[in-house]
Chain A
């Protein structure tokens, strides 16, 4: 910290106690950084699907680390092994650490048994972003979808995760829905566990 008078001798990061995770960073700083991330990736691709995939990959790395950290910090090195357990872990614990609040809703898909949805009225990463008309249904929430996929995949729940805009009645702005489609093996295992 700047301005601390007593200089502590340098200690290895592994020797220091794990932070409590209550630290917050500036939203503006994050928004600019994320904006640069999107802009950089935009220069590396030639279509929107590719851009979405790159953002998702960036998020995946975050998700894998977040799972590791949170399991160690909050759960005494245990992780969720059941489908609903891991989903509510993502919906509340992960969301709270990353975005400072629990996600607005967690629902089960009505058409398919293997689909779950996490919805946010205003996703933090999308707070300042307006998608140009020519980019169609592109959603920067792909980054968050990547985080969710990273968490689920590392916890042993492989899934396909995508981010979509869903228009809402009486609202100018659509909400963002993170759609989670679990792999078949996950559901089979879940059925076996009963």
Chain B
């Protein structure tokens, strides 16, 4: 069982800087993932403008028949989103954990260039652990 299908991180101008697949369903090639990332970036921006309420921060959850898309935007405009099974709970917590890992292992790494694709071993290792832990917690619930 894979609760999470995939994880995306996009920089503030809509470029995909990190993409990872989990499980077999919803797999995408590089071009498609880039397209989804920039599409989501634009939709997110438009939704802020169209929202009937003031001070809207953009879409947080998109529910579809076959998947849910949970999005978290950091203060600097970097967006983290996971595509998951419909009805998966507690994704906002997972996104916060991922954000924390990003601030630790990506932003504190002197060899990472801002807004560029993320290639950090430590981030990958800790991310895998966090996802694993989340799955175990999900089974326990």
Contacts and interface: CB of A to CB of B under 8 A. Distances in A.
Interface of A: 28, 31-32, 34-39, 42, 128-132, 135, 140, 172-173
Interface string B18-55: 00000000000000000000000000000000000000
A130 B121 contact: yes
Given A172-B125, A173-B125, A128 B108 contact: yes
Contacts of A131: 111, 121
Interface string B115-141: 000011111010000000000000000
A36 B107 CA distance: 11
B104 interface: yes
Identify the interface centre among A32, A34, A132: most chain B CB within 10 Å of its CB. Answer: A132
A33 B123 CA distance: 20
Nearest to A133: B119
B122 A31 contact: no
B108 A32 contact: yes
Interface of B: 104-105, 108-111, 119-123, 125
Chain A facing B: main interface SS: helix
A28 B108 contact: yes
B122 A128 contact: yes
Identify the interface centre among A28, A34, A130, A131: most chain B CB within 10 Å of its CB. Answer: A130
B108 A132 contact: no
B109 A128 contact: yes
A34 B107 CA distance: 12
A140 B122 CA distance: 15
Contacts of B125: 172-173
A35 B123 CA distance: 16
A132 B110 contact: no
Contacts of A35: 108-110
Contacts of A32: 108
A36 B110 CA distance: 7
B139 to A, nearest CB: 24
A172 B128 CA distance: 12
A131 B122 CA distance: 9
Identify the interface centre among B104, B110, B122: most chain A CB within 10 Å of its CB. Answer: B110
A172 B125 CA distance: 8
